[in-house]
Amino acid sequence: VQLQASGGGLVQAGGSLRVSCAPSGRMFAVYGVGWFRQAPGKEREFVAAIEWRAGRTYYADSVKGRFVISRDSRKNTVYLQMNDLKPEDTAAYYCAGDRVTRGGRMSLNLDDYDYWGQGTQVTVSS
């Protein structure tokens, strides 16, 4: 399964943007999907994740209350709605699939994810 992120762009601070993640195969091959981001000169970091079947969600503290992750099983797509964007949210955003659960929960560690695709750039201007 390859996951493709799309929907990035340029937005002003305080604005909103929704990015999408669609697979080349079927989503049921993964336990869940996570969003990660990487800013220039920084390490890739966890943003949000969702369990594909149960819909349970996970968020990084830095985006909690501003970002919402969701999935549409009919469209086989995961979304990340980003509200009240800040310049520090500027990064390349990647989605990734994790095949297994860990202790009944999803991992927030990017090294545990099995499927990756190309990212989509989100730029927030001040």
pLDDT mean values, one per 10 residues, the chain (126 residues):
91 98 77 95 97 95 98 93 98 94 91 92 97
Q: Give residue 29's pLDDT.
A: 76
AA letter at 107: S
Candidates 25, 21, 23; CA nearest to 35 is 21
Q: Give residue 30's pLDDT.
A: 84
Tell me the C-alpha to C-alpha distance, in Å, between residue 53 and each of 17, 26, 30: 25, 13, 9
Q: Which residue has the tokens 């090294």?
A: 111
Number of CB atoms found within 10 A of residue 16's CB: 12
Q: Give residue 14's pLDDT.
A: 98
How far apart, in whole angstroms, are the C-alpha atoms of residue 43 and residue 21? 21
